């Protein structure tokens, strides 16, 4: 899966010379938490988050009068509080690479580029939606977690066992963990069209251990 398949196209943007109150108002109206910032030529020059804007606003404990606060904020422009060194991704970037960039840099969103043009934005919410789909989170079925050796052909044995039992796999997640006998895999999958007992019976010969099994309505 690539970034272009999940990104929000034609993202909400803000001009670099917009005031902080106008940017906050735009975020609330569009229900977004970050805005790519464009200059007068439409080029990406920064990104601003709701946190950036709120931190730039006066504290309720300020001694300023209301009219003074309003006047000060109206003069404070987005370009003064935005992040200028914007981390971006290309629309053809693999989704897992975008997730790694977000995690490594502790950021919640990435503007998506095509050459020098902004064409979208991908956020942590998009990644959560993707994870939900990959794990079959919206589907009923039998959710099983097993441990298995990190050996070639192991996954094929499991999928064949599920197929032979009449099951249909709708979600899958695989992770490497340190077990008592060295590295091993933990595999979670969501299966439909097979009774729980029959599925467990089919899996026991081809896994190290069945760690969890439950029916999801």
**pLDDT tens for each residue of 125-151:** 999 999 999 999 999 999 999 998 888
Alpha-carbon span 155 to 146, nearest angstrom: 11
Note whether 178 and 101 are within 8 A (CB): no
Low-confidence spans in the chain with pLDDT less than 70: 57-74, 179-182
pLDDT of residue 184: 87
pLDDT of residue 150: 84
pLDDT of residue 70: 52
Give the domains, in start order, of the chain with CATH numbers.
Answer: 3-124 (3.10.580.10), 135-216 (3.30.70.260)
Residue 67: count of CB within 10 angstroms of its CB: 8
Residue 157: count of CB within 10 angstroms of its CB: 15
In this prediction the pTM is 0.79
Note whether 99 and 13 are within 8 A (CB): no
Alpha-carbon span 187 to 172, nearest angstrom: 7
pLDDT of residue 12: 97
3-state SS, residue 170? strand
Note whether 154 and 187 are within 8 A (CB): no
Residue 104: count of CB within 10 angstroms of its CB: 9
Q: What six digits make up the tokens of 30?
A: 């569009």
């Amino acid at each position: 899966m690539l970034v272009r398949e999940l990104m929000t196209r034609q993202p909400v943007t803000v001009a670099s010379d917009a005031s902080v109150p106008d940017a906050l108002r735009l975020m609330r109206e569009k229900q977004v938490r970050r805005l790519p910032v464009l200059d007068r030529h439409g080029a990406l020059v920064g990104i601003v988050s709701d946190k950036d804007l709120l931190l730039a606003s006066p504290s309720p404990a300020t001694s300023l009068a209301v009219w003074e606060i309003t006047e000060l904020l109206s003069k404070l422009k987005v370009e003064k509080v935005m992040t200028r060194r914007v981390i971006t991704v290309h629309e053809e970037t693999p989704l897992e690479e975008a997730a790694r960039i977000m995690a490594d840099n502790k950021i919640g969103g990435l503007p998506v580029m095509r050459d020098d043009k902004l064409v979208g934005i991908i956020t942590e919410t998009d990644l959560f939606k993707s994870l939900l789909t990959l794990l079959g989170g919206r589907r009923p079925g039998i959710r099983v977690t097993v441990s298995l050796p990190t050996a070639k052909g192991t996954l094929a044995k499991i999928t064949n066992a599920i197929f032979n039992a009449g099951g249909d796999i709708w979600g899958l997640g695989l992770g490497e963990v340190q077990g008592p006998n060295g590295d091993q895999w933990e595999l979670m999958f969501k299966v439909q069209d097979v009774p729980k007992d029959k599925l467990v019976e089919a899996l026991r010969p081809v896994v190290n251990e069945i760690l969890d099994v439950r029916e999801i309505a």
